[in-house]
Structures are given as C-alpha cells and as structure tokens.
Amino acid sequence: MPKAMPVINDWQIQRLKGRDFIDFKDFSVEELEYLLSLSMTVKKKFKAGELYQPLRGKTLGMIFTKASTRTRVSFEVGMYQLGGHALFLSGSDTQIGRGEPIADTAQVLSRYVDGIMIRTFAHEDVLELAKYASVPVINALTDLHHPCQVLADILTLHEHKQTLRGLTVAYVGDGNNMAHSWLMAAPKFGLNIRVASPKGYTCDAGIVAEAKEWAKQLGTEMIITEDPVEAVQQADVIYTDVWASMGQEAEQQERLRAFQGYQVNEELCKHAKPDYLFMHCLPAHRGEEVAAEIIDGPHSVVFDEAENRLHVQKAILVATMA
C-alpha cells in the first residue's frame, strides 16, 4: 500500500452504502483502502474541530449480549459526533434475551433504525441478523471475528509507520477472533502475518485456509506456528490478546498453563525489529499475556488503537449509512 491513499471513485463509494460490515472477506482490497482513507479523513476533521454530521437524523441500534467499554462508548460517541443517535439495547432488556427469534428482531428493528451494530458471542447470530435485516449490520465483535478492532489497529499502524505494504505483524497468543481478523485483513492491506499459538489453541482451520489463499493471490507472507520466537523474528509489530476471553473464565487456570512461554516480554521482544510497535486490543492482563514494562513502555501504542476505534467506526457508519 502506498504512503498516499488511492483516490476511490464515486461508484466504489456508492457500492458500500447499505452494505453489512461483518468480515474482511466480504470486501475487496480497494473497498478496504477506501474505508482506511475515509477513517483518516474523519479523524482529520475531528482533530480540526470541523463539524461533520452526515448522519443527522439517523439512528443506530446497538445490541449487546457481551459487555464492553470501548465498543459501546466509541459507537455511541461516534454516532453523536456524526449528528445521529445511538440506542443501547442490552440482551437482558430486549426480547432477544427472552427467546425471540433473531430473524424477528432483525425485521422489527429494521423498521425503526437506520443501522444495527451487534456485539455478541456466536458469529452465526450476526449472520442471521444480517440475513433478515433490511438495514446495514455491523459486527462489533463475535467469538469468530473482530473486524472493527483490526481496522483500528491498521489505521494506527499506518499512522506510526507511514506505510503498510511489506510490514510484518506477529500475533502471539490465543488463536481467537483477533487472530482470525488479522489473518483475513493482513493480505488485503499488503501486510505479512505470523501467528504463534500453543497446540490446542490454534486458529480455525477454515479461516487459515481462506487467508492463505488471499496471501498467495496478493503476494504476502503468512506463517502459522507454535514458536513465538519464529513469529516475532524481525517483526514490525507484536500483537497479543488476553489468554482467556469473556465467556472462557472457567478455563482460566488451564489456559494459564497452556500459554506459558507465550508472554510478550522483553526477552521475546528482543527478536523483533528495534523500532517494533506493541499492540493489544485491551483490556489487558499485565503479568499474563504481556509484561507491564512492554505494554507501558515506549513501543506500546495501545491507547492510540483504542482512540482509533472511534474514527474507524465513524468511517464504517458513514460509508454504510450516510
């Protein structure tokens, strides 16, 4: 990817209107470059104090069956800044939490709101919601994918490195939704991706196979390994996530044993490039998946990532709903 983002024509912009944002596989390289470029534009307008409200009069329904800090605040603030309104819908407060079919919820909400954001456990629930909704559906996290976070990470990486093509991202830890979204996104942004996970906690085989095809087509490197040092060797970015995600609390002790040797610490980071960036989607458990001196050290950009959730999600909202 060049330093200057490409100009995307009106036809490419228009074809994102009304689209769902569920998984990177649904978007072309050019469409993702446009979303990244739009994120930069939206952020620039915000930093300049420019009033930018293309979603005035629009409402986003936000379904949460999985708790959040960054997701709720960033989407809610983002809609407000864009001139629209965000409606928080927790699982316990809606009929979907009492057994109403997702298809019914999708059709009802589509008559009230202009877009639906959902943060939940099962990826199949998001797919079903999108199937029956007549308004755009945004995946704010499932157990399988977390595309909003990874797009924010990629914006952060571009800001710090001024380019993307040819950089290497090393993901060390659980082969979870974060790893899956990185695998699917990296080739389309010209990034090399390496994932190191212990046996029994590796990425979904189907997602790996699909991502490898993209890497082959687009000429990028992809390595799946059990060796953290192999993954981190001369990497530009070291990324990790918690070892036990929400809903996996019962596995905490078992996972702590399985992930010994996968902590991102000073010893592991010695194998990366001297100017590597450390990334984490947060919340973090210092002393488990990452040492405090790394996440709180000079290489860490975790709070830039958190801020960029706001700007990236505003771009997604504008592209799909404006």
282 is known to lie in a ligand binding site: yes
69 is known to lie in a ligand binding site: yes
90 is known to lie in a ligand binding site: no
Catalytic residue chosen out of the listed positions 72, 123, 145, 146: 146
Catalytic residue chosen out of the listed positions 20, 114, 145, 149: 149
3 state SS of 136: coil
The Cα-based distances of 12 to 9, 15, 79, 139, 155 in angstroms read 6, 5, 23, 21, 20
Is 304 an active-site residue?
no
Is 241 an active-site residue?
yes
177 is known to lie in a ligand binding site: yes
Residue 115, φ and ψ in degrees, nearest 5: -165, 155
Catalytic residue chosen out of the listed positions 19, 72, 119, 255: 119
321 is known to lie in a ligand binding site: no
Catalytic residue chosen out of the listed positions 236, 309, 311, 313: 309
183 is known to lie in a ligand binding site: no
Q: What is the C-alpha R_g of the chain?
A: 19
Cβ atoms of 256 and 188 within 8 Å: the answer is no
Catalytic residue chosen out of the listed positions 20, 23, 125, 241: 241
**Residues 29, 32: Cα–Cα separation, whole Å:** 5
246 is known to lie in a ligand binding site: yes
**Residues 322, 318: Cα–Cα separation, whole Å:** 5
300 is known to lie in a ligand binding site: no
Is 119 an active-site residue?
yes
252 is known to lie in a ligand binding site: no
111 is known to lie in a ligand binding site: no
265 is known to lie in a ligand binding site: no
Query: What is the CB-side half-sphere exposure of residue 295 using CA atoms within 13 A?
Result: 22
Cβ atoms of 195 and 225 within 8 Å: the answer is yes
3 state SS of 96: helix
Q: Which residues contact 272 (CB under 8 A, 6 or more apart)?
A: 170, 232, 233, 234, 235, 236, 238
Q: Render 143-183 in DSSP notation, one character per residue.
A: SS--HHHHHHHHHHHHHHHS--TT-EEEEES--SHHHHHHH
**Residues 65, 97: Cα–Cα separation, whole Å:** 8
Q: Which residue has the tokens 């706001």?
A: 310
146 is known to lie in a ligand binding site: yes
Catalytic residue chosen out of the listed positions 81, 143, 236, 281: 281
245 is known to lie in a ligand binding site: yes
Is 180 an active-site residue?
no
> Containing H/E element for 118?
strand 115-119
Is 98 an active-site residue?
no
309 is known to lie in a ligand binding site: yes
Binding site for carbamoyl phosphate: which residues? Answer: 68-71, 95, 119, 146-149, 281-282, 309
Binding site: which residues? Answer: 68-71, 95, 119, 146-149, 177, 241, 245-246, 281-282, 309
Binding site for L-ornithine: which residues? Answer: 177, 241, 245-246
Q: Which residues are catalytic?
A: 119, 146, 149, 241, 281, 309
